[in-house]
Amino acid sequence: MHILITGAAGMVGRKLAERLLNDGRIGQREITKLTLHDIIAPDTQPTENTSIRPIVGDLSDRSVVERLVAEKPDIVVHLAAIVSGEAESDFEKGYGTNFDGIRYLLEALRRQHYQPRVVYASSIAVYGTPFPEPIPDDFHLTPLTSYGTQKAVGELLLNDFTRRGFFDGIGLRLPTICVRPGKANKAASGFFSNIIREPLKGEEAVLPVAETVRHWHASPRAAVGFFMHAIGMDLEPVGPRRCLTMPGVAATVGEQIEALRNVAGDKAVALIRRQPDPVVAGIVSGWPTAFEARRARDLGFTADADFQAIVRTHIEDEHGGRAPIMD
């Protein structure tokens, strides 16, 4: 089996590639090759049974996209994207990658005349106020940002190309991934991770919004689990509406902080500095806070138990089970 991952140098892309290499197979089929794409070379290393084909380039370049699909991968996982804050501040860049990129990729797959599985990373940003709480699975798309609009367009393309039989697609509306390891990115949601990640390292973190802000979260481990399930599952029960809201944990910022306190103590919480940012607060105010996600759960997708579990997962995966602040 040959699997293509776009955006493979990103956090979820790296972790997904590592999981695929560790597992070595999907069901009864051995994974023989991973094509890993990004704008920088992914550093994932091959194994004895699985080769790595790195491709570097911008998805807004059709020639790059043609190279990605030339060998007809069996599975295509489309993770590449310009994140929310950057897509809002740089209109052309956001549409170049998040709109043109998926359009070029799906069109290139259509012209190859075979039927791979396509797994598309969408986002809960496809919803905007006003909406019910929690948001049901059949609620209409109401994006209020350029990023959300771009993801919603990608969903429509995925549904239509699947309907026409060009490939077998499924879209996953991801919660905000928290706690993201590494350095902060340009996502407007980055502070959700920052206020956990930095204090666990013994570093100060800035909180730009009120503690009453509530949001929908999933750990990186849970996100990888979503994609692994989507790669191997039977798609027939999904039906014609191919995009699903993934299950997650609804938590306020205050509940996040209490989860941090319960795991790492007052010393970690004391490193959070309140610094209101009206721009970030304005963006966040239009985001959804909770979902039913019944379709995804019924189809076998599973999420973290609670936000304290998310904090503990981060410590296990990124700090070997014990964060520096805990010593």
pLDDT, residue 327, reads 83
| Tokens at 171, concatenated | 């879209």
> How would residue 198 be classed by pLDDT, with cut points 50, 70 and 90?
very high
Q: Taking residues 269-298, what's their average pLDDT?
A: 93
Domain ranges of the chain: 2-174+220-245, 190-216+249-289+304-326
Q: How big is the CA angle at 293 (ends 313 and 315), to the nearest 5 degrees?
A: 5
Pick the more confident residue, 326 or 243: 243
Helix (H) or strand (E) holding 206: strand 205-207
Q: Considering the entire predicted model, what is its pTM? A: 0.96
Helical residues (DSSP H) of 4-48, grouped into ranges: 11-23
Our measurement of the distance from residue 17's CA atom to the centroid of its chain's CA atoms, rounded to an integer in Å, reads: 14
More confident residue, 84 or 261: 261
pLDDT for 279 beyond 90? no
Q: Is the dihedral of CA 10, 311, 128, 123 positive or negative?
A: positive
Question: What is the structure's pLDDT at 84?
Answer: 82
CA atoms within 13 A on the CB side of 221: 13
User: What separation in angstroms does the CA of 98 have from each of 158, 251, 305?
Assistant: 13, 28, 31
Q: Which residues contact 251 (CB under 8 A, 6 or more apart)?
A: 214, 215, 217, 259, 306, 307
Q: Answer yes or no: are the C-beta atoms of 200 and 323 closer than 8 Å.
A: yes
The distance in angstroms from the start CA to the end CA of the chain is: 44
pLDDT of 185 above 90: no
Catalytic residues: 147
Q: pLDDT at position 306, please?
A: 98
**What mean pLDDT, rounded, does the chain reach?**
95
Ordered DSSP codes for 72-131:
--SEEEE-----HHHHHH-HHHHHIIIIIIHHHHHHHHHHTT---EEEEEEEGGG--SS-
For residue 83, what pLDDT band results from cuts at 50, 70 and 90?
confident
Dihedral angle over CA of 103, 105, 110, 115, nearest 10: -130
Q: Which pLDDT score, from 0 to 100, does residue 184 have? A: 75
- pLDDT digits over 1-13, tens only? 999 999 999 999 9
More confident residue, 188 or 216: 216
Q: Number of C-alpha atoms within 13 angstroms, CB side, residue 154?
A: 37
Q: Say yes or no to pLDDT of 167 above 80.
A: yes
Q: What is the pLDDT of residues 125-134, one digit of tens each?
A: 999 889 898 9
Share of residues in the chain with pLDDT > 70 (%): 100
Predicted pLDDT at 85: 82
Q: Return the number of other C-beta atoms located less than 10 Å from residue 289's C-beta.
A: 17
Residue-wise pLDDT tens digits, 4-49: 999 999 999 999 999 999 999 999 999 999 999 999 999 999 999 9
Nearest-CA neighbor of 279 among 184, 176, 209, 205?
209
Residue 187, pLDDT score: 76
pLDDT higher than threshold 90 for residue 286: no
Superfamily grouping for domain 2-174+220-245: NAD(P)-binding Rossmann-like Domain (3.40.50.720)
Task: Note the CATH architecture for domain 190-216+249-289+304-326.
Answer: Alpha-Beta Complex (3.90)
> Which of the 8 DSSP states describes residue 45?
P
pLDDT at position 284, please?
84
**Helix, strand, coil: what percent of the chain each, to 5?**
45, 20, 40
User: For position 60, what pLDDT does the model report?
Assistant: 94
